[in-house]
Amino acid sequence: MAKPKIKLVAVDLDDTLLGPDLAVSARNRQALWRARQQGVRVVPATGRMFRSAQTIALRLGLRDPVIAYQGALVRWPAGEEIAHLPLPLALAREVLARVAPAGFHVNVYVDDNLYVAELTEEAKRYAALSGVPVQAVGDLAAFLSRDPTKVLVVAPETELDRLARDLAPHWGDRLTMNKSKPHFLEFSHREATKGRALARLAALFGLRREEVMAIGDGYNDLDMVEYAGIGVVMGNARPEVRARADWVTAANDADGVAEAVERFVLGGGV
């Protein structure tokens, strides 16, 4: 029996579609354009803020929904909201209270704006990476008056791993805690994952999971990679992430996204 045709490609941005220079290569751009010409939906799926991902999507001429904030917010590029699952305010304040003793840098996101307590070097680097403005507001717990979309902690990987191990038993299934980069630990709504957001969009468009391909590189991509009919992981991903893929493509600095799209979408699969 022939394999189902891929009708939707979900693609992570950082360390996947974007190269080390945060640009999209000509080959990646061309492969996505050709897929769209064949009627395939191309959905960015990222931990980035919507406004950051939106800029990239529009620059590429994409017109399908954007999965942002690890799945906590799904919007059309023009801004119309499909789904928003913010972190409940009480839980957000609890997160802030529990990470505060470590003294790590923290971001909070409200209404697609980025807030920090102080304009630290970490804040400046993050804002430059995302291409968004950052606002320093002092005490974050006191500042918050409604549910934030996400809380993010920035610190060295070994310290974040220790923090995650310590906190995991406390949260249980009350929220989602994952790493989008080795030095980013994120706290979101319990159902805010890329995989759940992708499943929601597939249902919206009347697609079966077998008609979906997902491409990523990080731990936060695993549930969408495992949901998709074809789950692709980048060659630059860590071995434990690559081990969970249906197929491992080239690295992000070697047009890995294009390689996967050419193989499974434009070439009809193998």
Q: What is the largest CA-CA distance in the chain?
A: 60
Q: What percent of the chain has pLDDT over 70?
A: 98
Q: Is residue 50 helix, strand or coil?
A: helix
- The whole-number pLDDT of residue 2 equals 52
Are 104 and 29 part of one and the same domain? no
Residue 28 is assigned to a structural domain of this protein: yes
- Residue range 208-245, pLDDT digits in tens: 999 999 999 999 999 999 999 999 999 999 999 999 99
Last-in-domain residue among 146, 163, 189: 189
What is the pLDDT, as a whole number, of residue 40? 97
**Within a domain: 114:** yes
State which of 189, 222, 246 marks the end of a domain: 189
Provide the whole-model pTM.
0.94
CATH number at residue 56: 3.40.50.1000
- At residue 270 the predicted structure's pLDDT band, cuts being 50, 70 and 90, is very low
Measure Cα distances from 117 to 134, 144, 247 in Å. Answer: 10, 11, 42
> Lowest-confidence range among 24-33, 37-46, 128-137, 255-264?
128-137
In this structure, the answer to whether residues 185 and 196 fall within a common structural domain is: no
Average pLDDT over residues 60-84: 96
Q: Which among 214, 216, 217 has a CA at the least distance from the CA of 228? A: 214
Q: Could you tell me if 181 and 14 are in contact, meaning their C-beta atoms sit under 8 angstroms apart?
A: yes
pLDDT at 101 over 90: no
Q: Determine the structural domain holding residue 159 and report its residue range.
A: 89-189
DSSP state letter for 86: P
Question: Under 8 Å CB-to-CB from 46, ≥6 apart: which residues?
Answer: 12, 13, 14, 52, 53, 66, 67, 68, 70
Three-state DSSP class for 21?
coil
- pLDDT above 60: residue 177: yes
Inside any domain, residue 241: yes
> Do 130 and 162 belong to one domain?
yes
**pLDDT band at residue 183 under the 50/70/90 scheme:** confident
**Per the structure block, which two tokens stand in for 257?**
């996204």
For residues 139 and 179, state if they share a domain.
yes
Both 226 and 257 in one domain: the answer is yes
Judge whether 143 and 110 are in contact, CB under 8 Å: no
Please give the single-letter amino acid code of residue 176.
T
H/E segment holding residue 194: helix 194-204
In a domain, 231, yes or no: yes
Confidence class for position 129, pLDDT limits 50, 70, 90:
confident
170 shares a domain with 101: yes
Structure confidence at residue 117 (pLDDT): 94
Inside any domain, residue 49: yes
Give the chain's domain count: 2
Indicate if 96 and 183 belong to the same structural domain. yes
Average pLDDT rounded to a whole number, residues 82-101 = 95
68-82: average pLDDT: 95
Please give the order of strands across the beta sheet that includes 73-75. 66-68, 73-75, 81-84
115 located within any domain: yes
127 and 251 share one domain: no
Lowest mean pLDDT segment, chosen from 29-38, 122-131, 251-260: 122-131
pLDDT value for 1: 44
Banded model confidence at residue 60, pLDDT cuts 50, 70, 90: very high
Bridge partners (DSSP) of residue 8 are 41, 212
Are residue 159 and residue 240 in the same domain, yes or no? no
Q: Please choose, from the candidates 56, 85, 75, the residue with its C-alpha nearest in 3D space to the C-alpha of residue 196.
A: 85
In a domain, 3, yes or no: no
Distance, C-alpha 121 to centroid of its chain: 23
- CATH classification of the domain holding 185: 3.30.1240.10
Residue 1 falls within a domain, yes or no? no
Query: Is the model's pLDDT at 64 over the cut of 70?
Result: yes
Question: Would you tell me the crossing angle of helices 89-99 and 157-171 to the nearest 10 degrees?
Answer: 130
> Of the residues 164, 189, 214, which one is the last residue of a structural domain?
189
